[in-house]
Amino acid sequence: MPRSLKFLIILTSIFILLLLLGIRIIFLMQVSSKLIIPESVMSSPWEYLDCASCEEAISKTIDEQLTKELKNPFKRFSYWMHSRASGTVIQKATLHSNKGYLMIESSVENKNFNVKVDRVVDINGNNIPKTKKDAEGARIRVISSEQKQEINYHLRKSGFYAKGKNQIYTIFKEQDKTNQQ
């Protein structure tokens, strides 16, 4: 094979890879910016702690939004290309009123979306613990008294509270509250 033909094949391959990468990036920017978790599904990122039904409710909401969004053939093709290349698509979903965001992994199986919540982050950048075990002793950042009230409201549902100063708080078990005073 002539040297110039090899060079042309390599150059064409690189061009195709860059084109596919560009399509994947465009897809992620278009779809991710539109994924929103409504207040009816999750009123606060802190509601995610020890919530047995949250994952399913979020999954159903994202599935509905992706199904609607991917009616466009170009977006559907881009999603398909991205999911085939990497197995899953990692996307950001915004919580209503910009209270935080979720990082989700989605994939397509038999024309259905499989959605898994990777992590939930509040407006202060705190990764919300998934389980009670993960919550105990966690250090979080709290900016305002309103946020402290909201966080403690949801923590108390699971038997915890946050205490601290200078914007750094630690999560304690409610039963330990008497020992802290």
Query: Nearest 5 degrees, angle CA 60-CA 66-CA 68?
Result: 105
Q: Tell me what percent of the chain is helix, strand and coil, each rounded to the nearest 5.
A: 50, 25, 25
Within 8 A by CB and 6+ apart from 113, the residues are 62, 63, 66, 67, 106, 107
pLDDT tier for residue 146 given thresholds of 50, 70 and 90: very high
Residue 125 has pLDDT above 80, yes or no: yes
pLDDT tier for residue 29 given thresholds of 50, 70 and 90: very low
pLDDT tier for residue 27 given thresholds of 50, 70 and 90: low
What is the tens place of the pLDDT at every residue in 71-102? 877 777 777 766 666 667 778 888 988 889 99
Rounded Cα gap, residues 38 and 94, in angstroms: 9
pLDDT tier for residue 35 given thresholds of 50, 70 and 90: confident
Comparing CA positions, the residue from 168, 171, 32, 30 lying closest to residue 101 is 32
Rounded Cα gap, residues 150 and 128, in angstroms: 13
